[in-house]
Each structure stands twice: as C-alpha cells, then as structure tokens.
C-alpha cells in the first residue's frame, strides 16, 4: 500500500449483509469510501474542498476517543491511540471510512490499516452504533502479514437489537493494488454462521467523479445509511425476529483478537 504513489483514493464500494439465523435476511447497496494515508489529511481536505465544495468533506473529530484538549493531526492522534493502548508503533497508517456528505456522516465501521513496509501488520476496526457509542476491535498477530489471514475476536459491543452480544467475529482483509475487501462473519461458539458481511471497493482517483456524478450516484448516501439500517430493522420486526434490549456499554473500549 505504502509504495503506491497516489495515497488518496475513493473506494467505490458495495456493502453486503446476510443474516443466516431464523428468518434469513440479505441486502446490498453501494457506498463511497475514502482511503488515504493519514499523513495526507490536509491534502485530502484541500482536494475534497476544491473538487466538491461543501458536498463532501472530512473531519478528524469524527474518529477515535481521545481527550482532544489540544489540536492534533489525525496522524498524531492515531499514533497516540495505539501507542497508549497497545504500545504499538506503525510505519504507515491508512484510514478507510465514509466521508461527510452535506456536512453529516454516520460510520457503522471504519478501518485503520497499519503497515510495516509492504506488510499489513495490524488493523483497528472502529465501530459505531446508532446510540452514539463507539468500540474498537484490535487485530494484530505479532509480526504476521494479515493480508488474506483470518482473525477472530469475541463480540463485545451492541450494534443491532436483533442480535445479542454473543458469538465470535471472524475478520479477513484482502488488499491489492486496485481493490480492498473487508469480510466480517459472526459465528456461534460452535462455528455456526450467524451473519455474513463484507464491503468490497475499487480504488479510484478523487478526480474520477465530477460533482454531478457524485450527486447522482451518492448524493443521499449519508441519510440513506441510517434509513437503510432502520428499514432493515423494520423488516426484521415484522418478521417477528427476537428483539434484544441494549445492554450496558462494555467497560473496555477495545477488544483484541484471540
């Protein structure tokens, strides 16, 4: 990743969810991610403003749970975050996330990719639920290249009222020169599949979309993300899928892989 000359991309992506338990339910829809080297934050903001004006933007305050009393760059914040919590230092960090559209965003999950040379050394999954809570899944295997590897972590965070906080997540990230795929499965402790999800994106330059193309393809992306969440919840409600009340937020903000 770090060898690529261009370090700021769009990811024209497709999101897929498939519930495998009682009353199966599947859906997929397009989204527009940004992927960038966090040291290029200022350049990203400048390019978005120049290319798309107020339609598309990025704010570092949407990310991480740090005490932000003094202004820091996104690169400084993520390095402080992983150093203070995991005593970890990375050579380069990329963030994959939804940008702000019309000044608003809701990110169900953002992915921080940590590289040492060409090796994917660690991944931080930053998860948000619709209750304004945040949780992190830290994936690291003591020097192993995580590209195409499967990693597991205990589910610890409430994201849907139609799933309890039970089971094991299985993560797999596939990164190549043109595409990035992030696969997450929710398994029972006996290995039975409960939920299969993925997001697959193709890298494009920021100049690949005009303002008109952005509006036509993704102009209502931010409200649609939230509306789709509630629409799918309504479908499950009418199917009489078991409803789980929201538990207390976990005491630990980070869950590590097994």
CB 120 within 8 A of CB 114: yes
Give the range of the structural domain holding residue 192, as residue numbers without chain letter. 8-256
Taking residues 9-34, report their average pLDDT. Answer: 90
More confident residue, 24 or 140: 140
- Tell the burial category of 112 from Cβ atoms under 10 Å away from its Cβ (0-12, 13-18, 19+): buried
The model carries a pTM of 0.93
Q: Is residue 2, in this structure, part of any structural domain at all? A: no
Q: Is residue 108, in this structure, part of any structural domain at all? A: yes
- According to the model, what pLDDT value does residue 232 have? 78
CB 105 within 8 A of CB 58: no
Q: What is the mean pLDDT of the chain?
A: 91
* pLDDT category of residue 70 using cuts at 50, 70 and 90: low
* pLDDT category of residue 182 using cuts at 50, 70 and 90: very high
Distance CA 224, CA 218 (A): 9
* Res 39 pLDDT > 60: yes
Q: Position of tokens 């970890």?
A: 88
The pLDDT tens digits for 212-231 are 999 888 888 877 777 777 77
* Res 175 pLDDT > 80: yes
Q: Is residue 1, in this structure, part of any structural domain at all? A: no
Strand partners, 252: none
Distance CA 154, CA 142 (A): 19
Q: Which of 134, 168, 167 is nearest to 151 (CA)?
A: 168
* Res 2 pLDDT > 60: no
The pLDDT tens digits for 121-157 are 999 999 999 899 999 999 999 889 999 999 999 999 9
The pLDDT tens digits for 130-140 are 899 999 999 99
* Res 92 pLDDT > 90: yes
Taking residues 14-39, report their average pLDDT. Answer: 91
* pLDDT category of residue 69 using cuts at 50, 70 and 90: low
Distance CA 149, CA 131 (A): 32
Q: Is residue 186, in this structure, part of any structural domain at all? A: yes
* Res 1 pLDDT > 90: no
Q: Is residue 209, in this structure, part of any structural domain at all? A: yes
Could you give the number of structural domains in the chain? 1
Taking residues 36-50, report their average pLDDT. Answer: 96
Using left for φ > 0, alpha for ψ between -120 and 50, and beta otherwise, residue 235 falls in alpha
Q: Is residue 88, in this structure, part of any structural domain at all? A: yes
Mark 2-30 as b/e (b = at least 16 C-beta within 10 Å): eeeeebbbbbbbebebebebeeebeeeee
């Amino acid at each position: 990743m770090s060898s690529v000359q261009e370090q700021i991309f769009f990811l024209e992506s497709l999101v897929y969810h498939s519930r495998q338990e009682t009353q199966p339910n599947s859906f997929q829809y397009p989204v527009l991610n940004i992927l960038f080297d966090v040291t290029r934050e200022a350049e990203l903001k400048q390019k978005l403003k120049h290319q798309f004006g107020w339609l598309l933007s990025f704010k570092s305050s949407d990310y991480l749970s740090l005490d932000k009393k003094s202004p820091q760059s996104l690169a400084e914040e993520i390095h402080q975050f992983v150093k203070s919590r995991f005593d970890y230092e990375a050579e380069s960090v990329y963030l994959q996330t939804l940008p702000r559209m019309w000044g608003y965003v809701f990110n169900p999950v953002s992915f921080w990719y940590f590289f040492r040379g060409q090796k994917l050394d660690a991944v931080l999954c930053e998860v948000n639920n619709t209750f304004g809570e945040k949780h992190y899944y830290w994936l690291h295997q003591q020097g192993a290249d995580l590209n195409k590897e499967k990693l597991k972590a205990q589910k610890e965070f409430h994201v849907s009222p139609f799933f309890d906080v039970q089971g094991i997540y299985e993560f797999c990230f596939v990164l190549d020169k043109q595409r990035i795929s992030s696969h997450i499965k929710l398994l029972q402790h006996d290995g039975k599949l409960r939920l299969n999800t993925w997001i697959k994106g193709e890298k494009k330059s920021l100049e690949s979309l005009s303002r008109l193309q952005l509006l036509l393809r993704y102009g209502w992306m931010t409200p649609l993300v939230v509306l789709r969440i509630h629409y799918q919840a309504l479908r499950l409600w009418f199917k009489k899928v078991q409803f789980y009340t929201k538990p207390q937020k976990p005491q630990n903000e980070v869950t590590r892989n097994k």
